[in-house]
Amino acid sequence: MKNCISNERVKATVIHIAFSLSIAIIISAVIFQLWFTAPLSNITGSTSLYWLIVTVDIICGPLLLFVIWNPKKPGRVLATDAAIVIVIQLAALGYGVWTIYQIRPVYIVFETDRLRMINATEIDSDDLEKAPDHWKNLPLLGPKLLSTRIPKDGPEMLRSIELSIAGKEPSVRPEMWEEYAPAKEKVRVASRSLPELLAVYPDKHAEITRLAEKFNVPYPSIIWLPLTSARSMDWVALIDARNMEPFTYIPGDGFIPR
C-alpha cells in the first residue's frame, strides 16, 4: 500500500514537471524570439532574473506537489492542492515575464558616433507624451531603429546639454527622436572600417566572417559603430554598408581611437 502511494506521488510529480517544462519552454521561446533575439539578451544582461524564476518555478512547483500529494485524499482535495500549486507557479512565472517585458529593448538609436540600445524602463512616461503620435507606444516585437535630431535653437541646445550632463542623453528623450532613414548618411560618416576593428581585435576575423555568411552580407560591405546600453559599453554593431543598418552585434570595446 505504501509503495502504491509512493508510485502515485511520483507519477503526479513527473506529470507536473512535464507540464511545468512545457509552459516554461513555450513562454521562453516567445520571449527570446520577440524581445531578446540573440545577441540582445547578452547585451542587456537582464534575463538572469527570468531564468532564476523559471528554474525555481520548475523545481519548487513539482517538489511542493510531491510533498502534499496523497492519493488517500478525496479527489476534490487533490484537485485543490494541485490548483494552488499551479496558481503559485503561474504567478511567479507571470512576474518573471512582466519583469522581462519592462526591461525589453525597444529602440536602437543612432547618437552622434554610436548606436545605443534603449530598454523600456529608460524612457520616462511623461517624456513619451512629447513624442510624435507614432512613437507614443513603445514597440512590442523587438527594437526599432531611430536617430536623434540636433537641437532646434540655442535654448534647446542649452537644455539638451544640461540634461546630458545630468545623465539623460538625447537617445532616451522622445522629443529628440527622428526617423533612422534620413540619418543614414550621418551613420555612414560616423562608421568605422573593418580593418580598424581587426587591427585591435584580430581574433574576431573568423567570427565576423561567419556572421557575414550567416546574414548574407558581403564581407567588404561590413562597417561598424560602438554599441552601448544601460549595462554595457563594450559591444560593437556590425553594419551592412548597402543599407546602413546593423545586422548583428559582437562583444568588444568600440571606442577605438581613430
Residue ranges of domains in the chain: 2-102, 105-251
Estimate to the nearest angstrom the gap between the alpha carbon of 10 and the chain centroid: 38
User: Cell 554599441 maps to which residue?
Assistant: 227
Angle at 144 between CA 37 and CA 241, to 5 degrees: 90
Sign (positive or negative) of CA dihedral 75, 78, 83, 89? negative
- The rounded distance, in Å, linking the Cα atoms of 11 and 246 is 50
Residue 221: what pLDDT?
94
pLDDT score, position 114: 93
pLDDT of residue 46: 65
Q: Which three cell numbers stand for residue 37?
A: 533575439
pLDDT by position in tens, the chain (length 258): 445 556 777 777 888 788 888 888 888 888 888 787 778 777 776 677 777 777 877 787 788 877 777 777 777 777 787 788 888 888 888 888 888 888 889 999 999 899 999 998 889 888 888 787 788 888 888 889 999 988 888 887 888 888 788 788 888 899 889 999 999 999 999 999 999 999 999 999 999 999 999 999 999 999 999 999 887 788 999 999 999 999 999 999 989 887
pLDDT at residue number 3: 53
The predicted pLDDT at position 20 comes to: 82
pTM of the complete model: 0.80
